[in-house]
Amino acid sequence: MKIRLLALGAILSAAALPALAKPVCGNLGSSTKDYRTAMNDVAFLNTVESRHFTEEVEQGVRGASGSVADDLQYTLGHYPNHVRALETVLRMAPRYPAGMLPGAKLPTECFFERAVRAFPDDSKTWLMYARYQYLVGREAQAQSMLEKAVELAPDDVSINYNLGLVYAKQKKFEQALPYAQKAYALQFPLPGLKQMLVNAGKWVEPPAPPEAEQDPAAAPAGADKPATVPELKAEAKPGTQPEPAAPAATPVKP
């Protein structure tokens, strides 16, 4: 999956959808399944995706059984933590600043709230919800969710990068540094966070690991890099080079 940058900005009113709870977002159905173990019932997964999560739905272009929102709701109704479906919701959200996708029965934020409510141990759901919060201008909530995510997955490259970026955007450079160092040690490809720290005079190269801890059979340079989830966007400052194009918060496939 290509790496895309999310556009910043208060797309929704900061007062909108303050703290969604079950009465607003609905109870989770009895057929809720964990997308992380979906391959345990691949026949059911294939049925859901072939009928409701087609390529056009994932791209946010056209629904398969109704509107795009209908098919996203069906997919996320069965798999609340379906990361690709959540990515589609996230990329569609800026088109509809009222906070509802056309044809949806629930506010956009509910897709993310239900994901973390169903699977609070899934770091990716917290990352996706944090990205949504950041998108709508709620940096404090995004930070809190990323802190939860990094507790669950301390070595996740995207989570470390995004948490470091949130701290750096608040000029909390000392707090941002260790997450930035870890993200780049894990070969995160975008230079934006490091450049912010360099510009602030706060970047420090991480110490090299002791030889005894290095794996002699480590993969050579050029080996496959870890997959990443689209990250938050750092604003380019005058005189600095903007980051290369990456996943924007435009409609994606659910």
Q: 29 pLDDT band (50/70/90 cuts)? A: confident
Find the mean pLDDT for residues 61-70: 93
Q: 19 pLDDT band (50/70/90 cuts)? A: very low
pLDDT for the residue numbered 221 = 46
pLDDT for the residue numbered 229 = 55
pLDDT digits (tens, 9 = 90+) for 171-197: 999 999 999 999 999 999 999 999 999
Q: 233 pLDDT band (50/70/90 cuts)? A: low
Residue with more model confidence, 119 or 221:
119
What is the rounded average pLDDT for all residues in the chain?
81
pLDDT digits (tens, 9 = 90+) for 149-166: 999 999 999 999 999 999
pLDDT for the residue numbered 129 = 98
117 pLDDT exceeds 80? yes
pTM of the model: 0.75
pLDDT for the residue numbered 187 = 93
Q: 31 pLDDT band (50/70/90 cuts)? A: confident
- Between 130-144, 182-196, 215-229, the lowest mean confidence (pLDDT) is in 215-229
Residue with more model confidence, 63 or 2:
63
- Between 5-19, 38-52, 86-100, the lowest mean confidence (pLDDT) is in 5-19
Q: Which two tokens stand for residue 39?
A: 């391959």
Question: What's the residue count for the chain?
Answer: 254
Q: 215 pLDDT band (50/70/90 cuts)? A: low
16 pLDDT exceeds 60? no
Q: 243 pLDDT band (50/70/90 cuts)? A: very low
Find the mean pLDDT for residues 25-30: 88
Q: 126 pLDDT band (50/70/90 cuts)? A: very high
User: What are the beta bridge partners of residue 231?
Assistant: 5
In percent, the amount of the chain with pLDDT more than 70 equals 73
Find the mean pLDDT for residues 223-251: 44
